[in-house]
Each structure stands twice: as structure tokens, then as C-alpha cells.
Amino acid sequence: MRNCQVLAELEKEIKACTKCPLHANRKNAVPGEGNPKAIIMFIGEAPGRNEDIEGRPFVGAAGRLLTSLIEQIGLKREDVYITNVVKCRPPNNRDPKPDEIDACSPYLDRQIKCITPRIIVTLGRHSTKYLLEKNGYSFRSILKIHGRIYSIKIDSLDVKLIPTLHPAAALYNPRLLEVLKEDFGKIKNQIKEVSGKKEKIGLERFF
């Protein structure tokens, strides 16, 4: 119950945020949604047009693909938590700028500390770069490191980080869909590994 209350308070804070210029043109900030006790958290880059309209993450075509990939590994969207490193839509869906990520990323850190996921899947280069560099890793290209498993810390929380491509990449280049599917196979295996005895955390219905 505490997780829900903390996330609800954080959501209100995000919706009222004016820390960077992105707030001036948004229709809605997009805090995130899902299971407040999720063992797996998906972190994208920034909301797009549909997300800005609805105030929810990953609800456009890329979101439908993400939901399908989540279902293909035996989970449902409501079992996981989905958010972005930047909570407001950049103009014309451009990449978020470093100062926008700097202003918004403390919200992400607080979400992670509240939810305490065992696995974080970063979708695309911006969320991947943020979390890897925060933990002392260098980052050059998402195509070179996707599917790898990193051990990171968010304060005292130990997390397995699995970077993969943003689903939108597969919409622009369908050949990348197989890359995403392979990475999600690794994500499924990692869920099994970190869960140990599945019944302990209620995962027996997924596998």
C-alpha cells in the first residue's frame, strides 16, 4: 500500500513540474503506470504525441509493440511498471536534451527506489546511457550492447539492467524486430533466474 501512496504523490509532483522548458508545451506529463511492486521495470526515453494526449506511457504504435513483446514472454502489461527517463514530450518528438534529462531523472531515481524492481529494461539509448553512466559504465551505442546484462546499484538497491532497442526502432526498420525478440527471450530467462523459486514471488502463473 505504501508503494501506491508514494507513487501517487510522486505522480502529482511530476504533473505539476516546471523544472525544464518542456512543461510549457505539454498537454499532459506522463509519470508512468503499472504494478507498484513490479519485479521488472521498463524505461523508455520520452513521451510521444499519443502519450502526451493520454498522459500514459507507450500507448501509440511503439507501445502496442512493447505490450505484445511483454505478453510474448508470459507477462501482462499490468504486471510490470513502464515509464520514461523524461516525463514530458519534446517538441516534434525530438530526442531529449541532456539538461532535460538532468532535470527529470531524479523522478526516475525515486520511482526505482519506491518500486524496488529486480530487473530494469532500458528501451533505447537515452535511458540506457543515463543508468549505465550513473553506475560508472561507458556508453557508445545501443546496437553494440543490447541484450547484455549489467549489475547496477540505485542507492543500495541491486538491480540487473538489460538494455534493448526502443520498440519504435523496429517500426522504422522491421529487421530489428528479431533483435528485440531475442533480447526479450533473455529478459524472460533473467526473470526466472532472479525469481529463484517462482512461487516465492508469485511468478508461477507466468511460466
Confirm whether 33 is domain-assigned: yes
- Domain range for 68: 2-195
Q: What confidence score (pLDDT) does residue 2 get? A: 66
Rounded mean pLDDT, 14-29: 97
pLDDT in tens, 173-185: 999 999 999 999 9
Rounded mean pLDDT, 65-77: 97
Confirm whether 203 is domain-assigned: no
Q: What total number of domains does the chain contain?
A: 1
Sign of CA dihedral 182, 81, 115, 73: negative
Instruction: With cut-offs at 50, 70 and 90, classify the pLDDT of residue 206.
Output: very low
pTM for the full model? Answer: 0.92
Instruction: With cut-offs at 50, 70 and 90, classify the pLDDT of residue 196.
Output: confident
Q: How many CB atoms lie within 10 A of CB 151?
A: 9
Confirm whether 204 is domain-assigned: no
Question: What is the radius of gyration, based on Cα positions, of the chain?
Answer: 16
Residue 20's CATH number: 3.40.470.10
Beginning with the edge strand found earlier in the chain, give each strand of the sheet holding 157-164 in spatial order.
33-34, 81-84, 40-44, 119-123, 157-164, 150-154
Confirm whether 206 is domain-assigned: no
Confirm whether 205 is domain-assigned: no
pLDDT in tens, 150-160: 999 988 899 99
Instruction: With cut-offs at 50, 70 and 90, classify the pLDDT of residue 203.
Output: very low
**Cβ(39)–Cβ(194) below 8 Å:** yes
Pairing of strands 81-84, 150-154: unpaired
Confirm whether 44 is domain-assigned: yes
Confirm whether 67 is domain-assigned: yes
pLDDT > 90: what percent of the chain?
87
Rounded mean pLDDT, 183-204: 74
pLDDT in tens, 125-170: 999 999 999 999 999 899 999 999 999 998 889 999 999 999 999 9
**Cβ(43)–Cβ(108) below 8 Å:** yes
Neighbour-count burial of 111, counting CB atoms closer than 10 A to its CB (0-12 exposed, 13-18 middle, 19+ buried): buried
pLDDT > 70: what percent of the chain?
93
Confirm whether 202 is domain-assigned: no
**What is the dihedral angle through the alpha carbons of 123, 127, 133, 134, rounded to the nearest 10 degrees?**
-120
The more confident residue out of 196 and 144 is 144
